[in-house]
Amino acid sequence: FWVRFACHWAFYLRLLLRPRGNQSDAVLPRPSLNLPLSSSGGFKSEEDGDPHPVKTVGFCPVTAQPPFGSGVDHSAIVGVLTNRSREQRQLISRAFQERTQQVRPLTSQEQWTGLRTTLLKSWGTAVAVVGRWLVLLAFGRNQLIFPDLPPTSGTLPTPHLLLHHGDHLSQDLLKSLQAALSGDLERTVVALLQPAAHFDAQELRTALKTPGSTEDVAVEILATRSPPQLQECLTVYKHNFQMEAEKDIKSETSGIFQDLLLALAEGTRESYSGIIDYNLVEQDVQALKQAEGPGTEGTWVLIFTQRNPEHLVQVFDQYQRCTGHELEKAVQNIFLGDAQAALLSLALVIKNTPLYFADKLHQALQDTEPNYQVLMRILISRSEIDLLSIRTAFKKKFGKSLYSSLQDVVKGDCRSALLALCRAEDL
């Protein structure tokens, strides 16, 4: 009786566990994702076909070759990434990762551990002993993988319940593109796919650790990001580099410039209430007029980093009326080096942020070799904020559109990406 019972169950389990087609290639009814782009730059439809063959590991399909090989369509990638918002790009990354999941085959020991646990919960100890032999007899091989479904207590387990998944492995879109691309195009695509806070944190770290670029990039990030953006950037900075940005500022800078960056990093600038306090405007103007000697630099730092932009615009105007010259001239006469450059940059950011970025873009295009890092950082970070205003300021000041300037100067693989970020010609 027991022999016949075992044979019947072994036959039944073999029927249930038999894969369709090739025994080593059981197919899970889950769509595969290779390059989710069509030649026109949009998502591929079912009619577009799939250029890459698909093989399977257990029940999970994976591409037979990396999703972005040597024949990758750069224009399609650029078209999709530059025509999506940052939030949409993050959704694309998550969708790519979810749809390229793989499963690591279980070892024999892991299979038996999962099997024993499931059987003990489902049948009880006595039946588990018999079930072990039946299942091993029915399997006949060591690397079967089944979708992970919760065990059903008290009922006869189906084959899906007999084993559990190994570790989930999935293809990361960012890493896949990094492996397929190189140079300036790779850096541009990485910047497009990174969350804004991660990108800003990396740029700030590089600026603080690279001599000669601190006053430029650090002031740009600390002075032009909104308080929530700045707070998120500093949080990511601490998490990624195991160091607070303030400590790096203290170790890499000095003097009034250090005080300025630290005050900006605190993010305690007053918010605009809708009402200008003209008494405070007059007090600040008088304080700045008197702060022209040694030991008075703190007054400049306090006013430039704590007052809201609307208030400071009034301070600048009133200062010019009282002295007959712009506040920037006083900065040039009093300060030197990094402190002077930082205060002048802050003054321009406060008075006209689009013009500040237009100047930086123009300067990046005037170098012997275009500064692709600056072009990329500004076009990406401002693309959803005030890029149209920046383009307008650029053409008004330099007599030529930003788009035409990029066309004339930028070469190489990232040219199409930068032009796509710029969007269009300004007539």
Domain harbouring 360, CATH code: 1.10.220.10
In this structure, the answer to whether residues 14 and 130 fall within a common structural domain is yes
Residue 119 structure tokens:
């059987």
SS3 content of the chain, % helix, strand, coil (to 5): 60, 5, 35
Confidence class for position 156, pLDDT limits 50, 70, 90: very low
In this structure, the answer to whether residues 174 and 86 fall within a common structural domain is yes
Confidence class for position 425, pLDDT limits 50, 70, 90: confident
Does residue 87 belong to any structural domain of this protein? yes
In this structure, the answer to whether residues 188 and 261 fall within a common structural domain is yes
Does residue 323 belong to any structural domain of this protein? yes
Host domain of residue 204: 183-266
Does residue 72 belong to any structural domain of this protein? yes
pLDDT: which is higher, 79 or 197: 197
Alpha helices in 210-308 (DSSP H): 219-224, 227-241, 245-252, 255-266, 278-290, 297-306
Does residue 399 belong to any structural domain of this protein? yes
Whether residue 382 has pLDDT greater than 90: yes
Number of domains comprising the chain? 5
In this structure, the answer to whether residues 147 and 9 fall within a common structural domain is yes
Confidence class for position 9, pLDDT limits 50, 70, 90: low
User: Residue-wise over 243-263: b if at least 16 C-beta within 10 A, else e?
Assistant: eebeebbeebbeebbbbbbbb
Residue at a domain's end among 305, 332, 351: 351
- State which H helix or E strand residue 324 sits in: none
Pairing verdict, β 54-57 and 60-63: antiparallel
In this structure, the answer to whether residues 77 and 210 fall within a common structural domain is no
Confidence class for position 54, pLDDT limits 50, 70, 90: very low
Residue 379 structure tokens:
């076009």
In this structure, the answer to whether residues 395 and 248 fall within a common structural domain is no
In this structure, the answer to whether residues 367 and 412 fall within a common structural domain is yes
Strands (E), 124-199: 168-170
Residue at a domain's end among 351, 375, 401: 351
**What mean pLDDT is reported for the chain?**
75
Does residue 32 belong to any structural domain of this protein? no
Closest CA to 143 of 105, 198, 194, 179: 105
pTM assigned to the model: 0.69
- The contacts of residue 331 (CB under 8 Å, 6+ apart) are 300, 340, 343, 344, 347
Q: How far apart are CA 259 and CA 249, in angstroms?
A: 9
Residue with tokens 């123009």: 362
What is the per-residue pLDDT for 21?
45
Confidence class for position 310, pLDDT limits 50, 70, 90: very high
Does residue 255 belong to any structural domain of this protein? yes
What is the per-residue pLDDT for 19?
47
Does residue 31 belong to any structural domain of this protein? no
What is the per-residue pLDDT for 146?
34
Whether residue 130 has pLDDT greater than 60: no
Closest CA to 198 of 241, 248, 251, 143: 241
Amino acid at 223: A
Whether residue 291 has pLDDT greater than 50: yes
Mean pLDDT over 307-319 rounds to 95
Closest CA to 171 of 36, 343, 279: 36
What is the per-residue pLDDT for 3?
63
In this structure, the answer to whether residues 262 and 194 fall within a common structural domain is yes
Angle value at C-alpha 342, between 340 and 348, nearest 5 degrees: 105
Range of weakest confidence among 148-162, 192-206, 286-300: 148-162
Residue 178 structure tokens:
């990094």
- The predicted-structure confidence for 84-100, as pLDDT tens digits, reads as follows 888 888 887 887 777 66
Range of weakest confidence among 29-38, 293-302, 321-330, 364-373: 29-38
Residue at a domain's end among 180, 210, 230: 180
Mean pLDDT over 34-57 rounds to 36
In this structure, the answer to whether residues 189 and 260 fall within a common structural domain is yes
Residue with tokens 């890499």: 252
In this structure, the answer to whether residues 253 and 282 fall within a common structural domain is no
In this structure, the answer to whether residues 362 and 380 fall within a common structural domain is yes
CA distances for 165 relative to 28, 101, 139, 145, 247, angstroms: 13, 12, 16, 7, 44
In this structure, the answer to whether residues 345 and 380 fall within a common structural domain is no
Does residue 257 belong to any structural domain of this protein? yes
Closest CA to 158 of 138, 177, 184: 138
Q: Please report the sign of the dihedral spanned by the C-alpha atoms of residue 297, residue 299, residue 301, residue 304.
A: negative
